[in-house]
Chains A and B, each alone.
Chain A
């Protein structure tokens, strides 16, 4: 069972109280962008077996969006943080690096080899 700490209301929320919002920190490519950028924005995800950044909404609780960093292989949660950020804050990166020393941040939604 996945539980995430909602940084907006302080509740340790059960997964069934939350609504998933997909990968976090995507750069949105909308009208006026190239076909390739728009395609990648819609469909191309890194989806590593490991560290993920996700958007979640505390749907049955305070109703707010927030971000979570967790490992999809071990289900370890590294932390949750405000949705109003373009990249994971330093304390979240540090928490990940402590557990996954080889991990690096890729500032894009694109798949990386």
Chain B
């Protein structure tokens, strides 16, 4: 028998669409929810140790493509890391937080991610979310938790031409189809 991880696939198997922007389902990514008192040194050490970057401020994403810490609420962080590292990371956080009031959960298989590329991505997101997508209201590097159509999602811009979206795995098809419609060629609004 082969060793190591079973072959992990994302729900849409890397689906892709090119229109006003390009939409690509990302490969499975490791995600750990960490909840607790974000001002507590033990939580900060656990988050930055696994997340590999500084603690994010309110609504901020701190990190790069491989590893990041996202501020999700006043007592919740989402740690992004390579998929294969999650079991080890959960164990090490558990050890660091022994005796603290905290929650650590591997949510990698509960979610899926999309990458948006192209200059029109603010407009495509604005068609689907009741959020202010103007550069002043949502600067690059700020996480926005909202809904896309009828389902919750979180997204942040890495640059004006690149964004990442996270939603529940069970609604991956619905979210992808919405992006396909919102990014149809010829549907530019030109608001931003």
> Chain A residues in contact with chain B, CB under 8 A?
8-12, 14, 16-17, 59-64
Instruction: Determine the residue in chain A with the shortest Cβ distance to B58.
Output: A10
Q: Tell me whether B132 and A12 are in contact (CB under 8 A).
A: yes
Instruction: Determine the residue in chain B with the shortest Cβ distance to A3.
Output: B130
Compute how far the CA of A98 lies from the CA of B59 in the bound complex, rounded to whole angstroms: 33
Instruction: Determine the residue in chain B with the shortest Cβ distance to A62.
Output: B73
Instruction: Determine the residue in chain A with the shortest Cβ distance to B73.
Output: A62
Contacts of A11 in B (CB 8 A): 59, 131, 144
- CB-CB contacts below 8 Å: B143-171 with A: 144-147, 152
Contacts of A63 in B (CB 8 A): 73, 76
Given contacts A9-B58, A10-B59, contact A61 B130 (CB under 8 A): no
Q: Tell me whether A9 and B147 are in contact (CB under 8 A).
A: no
Interface size range of chain B in the complex: 10 to 19
Q: Tell me whether B72 and A60 are in contact (CB under 8 A).
A: no
Q: Tell me whether A60 and B152 are in contact (CB under 8 A).
A: yes
B74 lies within 8 A of chain A by Cβ? yes
Q: Tell me whether A62 and B130 are in contact (CB under 8 A).
A: no
Listed from nearest, the 9 A-B pairs whose CB atoms lie closest are A14-B130, A62-B73, A60-B147, A61-B145, A60-B152, A16-B130, A60-B146, A8-B74, A63-B73
Q: Tell me whether B130 and A9 are in contact (CB under 8 A).
A: no
Contacts of B145 in A (CB 8 A): 9, 60-62
**B interface, by DSSP: helix, strand, loop or mixed?**
strand
Contacts of B132 in A (CB 8 A): 12
Q: Tell me whether B147 and A64 are in contact (CB under 8 A).
A: no
| New A-B contacts (14) at CB < 8 Å, excluding given A8-B73, A62-B74, A63-B73 | A9-B58, A9-B73, A9-B74, A10-B58, A11-B144, A14-B130, A16-B130, A17-B131, A60-B145, A60-B152, A61-B146, A62-B72, A62-B73, A64-B73
Given contacts A16-B130, A17-B130, A60-B152, contact A9 B146 (CB under 8 A): no
Contacts of B59 in A (CB 8 A): 9-11
Compute how far the CA of A64 lies from the CA of B146 in the bound complex, rounded to whole angstroms: 13
Compute how far the CA of A9 lies from the CA of B130 in the bound complex, rounded to whole angstroms: 16
Instruction: Determine the residue in chain B with the shortest Cβ distance to A60.
Output: B147
Contacts of B146 in A (CB 8 A): 17, 60-61
Instruction: Determine the residue in chain B with the shortest Cβ distance to A14.
Output: B130
B130 to chain A, nearest CB (A): 4
Compute how far the CA of A18 lies from the CA of B72 in the bound complex, rounded to whole angstroms: 16
Contact with A along B107-138 (1 / 0, CB 8 A): 00000000000000000000000111000000
Compute how far the CA of A14 lies from the CA of B145 in the bound complex, rounded to whole angstroms: 12
